[in-house]
C-alpha cells in the first residue's frame, strides 16, 4: 500500500518536474515534510550547474555594495554594475545577486560560508539575515552543529535556495534562468510576475502552484522563470511580453482540485511513512557515525575569536602564574567584597564543600575557595567562551587562598538532581543536559586553542542554570594536549573514582577519549538515576549493560536502543574505538529531536 503511494508520488513529481513552493513550513524548524521544498529545491534541471540570480533586500548592516558582496561572496564590481549602484543601496531596495547554482546530492543549491554572529540561530540566519533564501531545516541538515551549539565566530555552510530550469522549461518556454525571488509583504504571484515581465501561469507552474492556491508568504522564495537576465528592478521597464501561446485552456478547478486531493492523501500517508522511517534512519545514522574515523581538529572556525583576542598563546605557561591578559579581562575582587556578598562566608550561603553563593552588585555569583595553585584554572577559563562552560567573572587572592567567582547556575549540581530529585527531570531535560555537556566538551576538545582534556568530568562538576541547561565546571585538572601531541602520559593519576577510563588508570594515558569515557558514565547516571560508584559494578562486572539499561532507565522503548548504543560506544575498553565528541554531539542532537517529538506526542 505504502509502496504504491511512493510510486504514485514519483510519477507525480516526474509528470510535473517543477519545484514545490515552500509555503509556511519555513516558520517551524521541526517541519521536515518533503512534499514542500524545505530542504531545498530538488536537482531536476536540464543542467546540473547553471547561472542563477537571487533577489535580496538591502537592510542594515547589509546595505552597501561591499557588505552584500561579502555576505554572498560575489565580485563587488559585478554587483554594482548589475544593480546600477555606486556604493550604497537605500533600505529595502531590491538587489540582484548573480550566483552559480549546482547540485549537491538531491538538492540544487549555491553554497555560502557564513560566520555566526551573537544571538544567531539557524532560524535567524535563514529568516532574518537571508530573508528566506535558506531555511533552518536545510541549515540543520547540512551542518554538524545543532542550532543551540552555535557560537559567535563559528563558520557554517549555508545552502542558498536556487534551481536550474528543467528540460521542459528550456524547450517549451525558452527559460534560461530561474531567479530565486524573496517574497515581501503585499506581494502576489501576479504582481511579482508582472514586475519581471513573466506570465503568471508560468510562475505558478514553476512553483507547483495553481490559481486557486497561489498564496505567497514573506521570507520565502518564489522561483521566477526568466528568458533574459533580470536588470535593475528598481528602474525597470518591463521587457516586451514574450510571444505567448494562448492561455492554457485548462479548467483549473476540476483537474487542479482533484490533484490537490491526491496531494493531501499522499501527504497523510507520506507523514506516516516518514514517522516510521525516522526510527530506521536514526539507527543507520548512529551506526554510520560510530564507524566514522575521527577527523583532524579543525581550528579554522575559531580564527574569528582568536583574532579578536590580542592574547599571545606562545607566551603562555600555566606554571608561570597568571598571564597578563587574565588581569585585563577578569575582575580582581577585594576580599571584603566577597565577604559582604556571602555574609562573611556563613553557612547560610554555603553550597557545601568550599563553594558559596552570593550576590555581587545585585547579580548572583558562585564563589569557590581554593587552596594551592588556582592559576591553571583561572588562565584556562579566562580564554574560554562557551555557553556550556561555566564563566569565570573574576577572582581574589587573600591570605594564601584563592577565591574564584563564577556566573551563578541557580539549579546547583547535576549530581544533586540525579541522586536526590531524579524523578523531577523530564526526559527532554535529561537529554538536553547530556547534549550540553557533549557540546561543551566538544568545544574544549576541538575548538579551544590549544585543545584541552577536562580529565575530571563527573556529574558533580556539571552545574545547571535556571533553565536546566548544563555548564561544565572545575577545570582545575584540565590539560592541554597540544604540546605533546594527541596523547600525554602522566604518572600522576588524578580524577574521580567511577569515571576514570581503563587506559588512564592502567597507563596514565591522557587523551580526549578520557573525557568520552567519563561522559558515558555521566549519561548512564542521567538515564538511570544511579551513582557512578554503583554503576561501576555493572560496567566492570561484565553484566549486560543493555539489559540493565532497558530495565533501569527512564527511557521510552523507542529511544532506549540509541542511548544504549551511545553509552556502550563511549565506554569501550579500547579508547581508539570510542567515538569523538563531535560525533556524540551529532547523535545526541538527533536523539533529542526524537525525544521532543515523542514527548509532545504523549
Q: Peptide bond before 587: cis, by omega within 30 degrees of 0? A: no
Q: Within 13 Å of residue 423, how many CA atoms lie on the same side as its CB?
A: 1
Smallest distance, ligand NAG to C-beta of residue 20, A: 8
Give yes or no: 456 in active site. yes
Helix (H, G, I), strand (E, B) or coil at 302: helix
Q: Among residues 29, 50, 71, 162, which is the contact residue for ligand NAG, using CB under 6 A?
A: 50
Which span sits near ligand NAG by CB under 6 A: 46-54, 179-187, 476-484, 515-523? 46-54
**Closest approach of Cβ 165 to ligand NAG, in Å?**
5
Cβ nearer to ligand NAG, comparing 127 with 290: 127
Which distant-in-sequence residues (6+ apart) come within 8 Å of 346 by Cβ? none
Specify the DSSP class assigned to residue 50: E
* Given 176, 194, 231, 561, the residue binding ligand NAG (CB under 6 A): 176
How far is Cα 192 from Cα 223, in angstroms, rounded to an integer? 10
Contacts with ligand NAG in 288-317 (CB under 6 A)? Answer: 292, 295
Q: Can you tell me the distance from the alpha carbon of 58 to that of 432, in angstroms, rounded to the nearest whole number?
A: 37
By the rule CB under 6 A, 41 interacts with ligand NAG: no
Shortest reach from residue 47's CB to ligand NAG, in Å = 4
The reply to whether 106 sits near ligand NAG by the rule CB under 6 A is: yes
Quote the least distance from Cβ 260 to ligand NAG, whole Å.
Answer: 18
User: Which residue among 19, 25, 42, 94 contacts ligand NAG (CB under 6 A)?
Assistant: 42
Binding mask 141-170 vs ligand NAG (x if CB under 6 A, - otherwise)?
A: -xxx------------x-------x----x
Question: Are the CB atoms for 304 and 152 separated by under 8 Å?
Answer: yes
Bridge partners of 356, per DSSP, are: 350, 367
Give me the least distance between CB of 40 and ligand NAG, in Å please.
9
Could you count the other beta carbons within 10 Å of the beta carbon of residue 460? Answer: 21
Which residues does residue 4 pair with via DSSP β-bridges, in sequence order? none
- Cβ contact 175:225 at 8 Å: yes
In the set 120, 436, 449, 456, the catalytic residue is 456
Q: Are 578 and 546 in contact (CB under 8 A)?
A: no
Bridge pairing between strands 331-332 and 392-398: parallel
Q: Identify any residues that bridge with 178 across adjacent strands, giving them in sequence order.
A: 225
Q: Which residue has the cell 547540512?
A: 142
Residue 102 binds ligand NAG, judged by CB under 6 A: yes
Instruction: Enumerate residues 370-389 that contact ligand NAG by CB under 6 A.
Output: none
Diameter of the chain measured on Cα atoms: 93
Q: Please list every residue from 400 through 459 that binds ligand NAG, using CB under 6 A.
A: none
Stretch that binds ligand NAG, among 42-50, 146-154, 187-195, 563-571 (CB under 6 A): 42-50
Contacting residue, 111, 121, 194, 411, with ligand NAG by CB under 6 A: 111
- What is the β-pairing status of strands 363-370 and 49-57? unpaired
Contact call for residue 104 and ligand NAG (CB under 6 A):
yes
Which parts of this chain interact with ligand NAG (CB under 6 A)? 13, 27, 34, 42, 46-47, 50, 102, 104-106, 111, 127-128, 142-144, 157, 165, 170, 176, 219, 292, 295, 582
Give catalytic residue positions: 456
Amino acid at each position: 500500500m505504502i509502496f504504491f503511494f511512493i510510486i504514485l508520488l514519483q510519477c507525480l513529481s516526474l509528470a510535473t518536474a517543477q519545484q514545490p513552493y515552500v509555503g509556511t513550513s519555513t516558520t517551524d524548524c521541526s517541519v521536515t515534510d518533503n512534499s514542500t521544498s524545505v530542504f531545498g529545491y530538488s536537482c531536476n534541471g536540464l543542467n546540473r550547474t547553471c547561472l542563477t540570480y537571487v533577489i535580496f533586500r538591502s537592510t542594515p548592516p547589509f546595505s552597501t555594495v561591499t557588505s552584500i558582496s561579502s555576505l554572498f561572496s560575489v565580485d563587488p564590481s559585478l554587483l554594482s554594475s548589475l544593480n546600477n549602484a555606486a556604493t550604497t543601496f537605500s533600505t529595502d531596495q531590491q538587489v540582484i545577486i548573480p550566483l552559480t547554482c549546482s547540485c549537491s546530492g538531491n538538492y540544487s543549491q549555491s553554497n555560502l560560508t557564513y560566520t555566526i554572529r551573537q544571538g544567531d540561530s539557524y532560524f535567524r540566519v535563514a529568516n532574518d539575515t537571508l530573508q528566506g533564501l535558506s531555511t533552518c531545516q536545510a541549515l540543520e541538515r547540512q551542518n554538524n552543529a545543532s542550532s543551540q551549539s552555535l557560537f559567535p565566530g563559528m563558520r557554517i555552510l549555508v545552502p542558498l535556495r536556487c534551481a536550474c530550469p528543467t528540460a521542459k522549461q528550456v524547450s517549451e518556454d525558452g527559460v534560461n534562468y530561474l531567479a530565486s525571488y524573496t517574497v515581501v509583504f503585499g506581494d502576489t504571484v501576479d504582481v511579482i510576475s508582472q514586475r519581471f515581465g513573466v506570465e503568471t501561469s508560468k510562475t505558478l507552474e514553476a512553483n507547483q502552484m495553481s490559481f486557486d492556491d497561489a498564496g505567497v508568504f514573506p521570507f520565502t522564495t518564489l522561483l521566477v522563470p526568466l528568458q533574459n537576465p533580470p536588470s535593475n528592478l528598481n528602474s525597470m521597464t518591463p521587457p516586451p511580453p514574450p510571444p505567448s501561446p494562448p492561455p492554457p485552456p485548462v479548467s483549473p478547478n476540476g483537474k487542479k482540485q482533484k490533484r490537490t486531493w491526491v496531494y493531501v492523501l499522499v501527504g497523510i500517508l507520506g507523514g506516516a511513512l516518514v514517522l516510521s522511517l525516522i526510527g530506521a534512519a536514526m539507527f543507520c545514522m548512529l551506526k554510520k557515525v560510530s564507524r566514522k574515523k575521527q577527523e583532524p581538529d579543525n581550528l579554522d572556525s575559531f580564527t574569528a575569536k582568536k583574532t579578536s583576542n590580542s592574547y599571545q598563546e606562545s607566551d603562555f605557561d600555566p606554571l608561570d602564574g597568571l598571564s597578563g591578559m587574565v588581569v585585563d579581562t577578569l575582575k580582581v575582587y577585594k576580599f571584603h567584597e566577597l565577604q559582604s556578598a556571602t555574609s562573611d562566608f556563613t553557612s547560610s550561603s554555603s553550597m557545601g564543600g568550599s563553594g558559596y553563593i552570593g550576590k555581587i552588585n545585585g547579580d548572583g555569583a558562585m564563589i569557590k575557595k581554593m587552596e594551592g595553585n588556582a592559576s591553571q584554572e583561572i588562565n584556562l577559563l579566562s580564554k574560554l567562551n562557551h555557553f556550556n562552560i561555566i564563566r569565570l567573572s573574576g577572582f581574589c587572592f587573600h591570605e594564601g587562598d584563592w577565591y574564584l567567582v563564577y556566573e551563578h547556575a541557580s539549579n546547583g549540581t547535576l549530581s544533586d538532581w540525579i541522586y536526590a530529585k531524579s524523578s523531577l527531570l523530564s526526559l527532554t531535560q535529561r537529554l538536553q543536559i547530556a547534549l550540553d555537556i557533549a557540546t561543551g566538551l566538544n568545544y574544549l576538545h576541538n575548538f579551544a586553542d590549544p585543545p584541552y582534556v577536562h580529565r575530571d568530568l563527573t556529574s558533580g562538576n556539571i552545574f545547571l542554570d535556571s533553565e536546566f541547561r548544563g555548564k561544565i565546571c572545575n577545570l582545575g585538572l584540565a590539560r592541554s594536549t597540544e604540546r605533546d601531541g594527541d596523547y600525554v602520559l602522566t604518572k600522576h593519576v588524578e580524577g574521580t573514582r567511577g569515571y576514570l577510563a581503563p587506559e588512564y588508570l592502567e597507563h596514565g594515558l591522557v587523551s580526549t577519549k578520557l573525557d568520552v569515557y567519563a561522559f558515558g558514565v555521566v549519561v548512564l547516571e542521567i538515564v538511570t538515576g544511579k551513582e557512578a560508584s554503583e554503576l561501576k559494578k555493572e560496567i566492570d562486572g561484565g553484566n549486560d549493560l543493555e539489559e540493565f539499561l532497558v530495565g533501569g532507565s527512564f527511557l521510552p522503548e523507542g529511544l532506549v536502543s540509541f542511548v544504549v548504543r551511545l553509552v556502550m560506544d563511549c565506554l569501550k575498553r579500547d579508547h581508539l574505538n570510542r567515538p569523538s565528541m563531535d560525533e556524540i554531539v551529532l547523535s545526541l542532537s538527533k536523539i533529542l529531536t526524537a525525544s521532543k517529538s515523542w514527548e509532545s506526542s504523549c
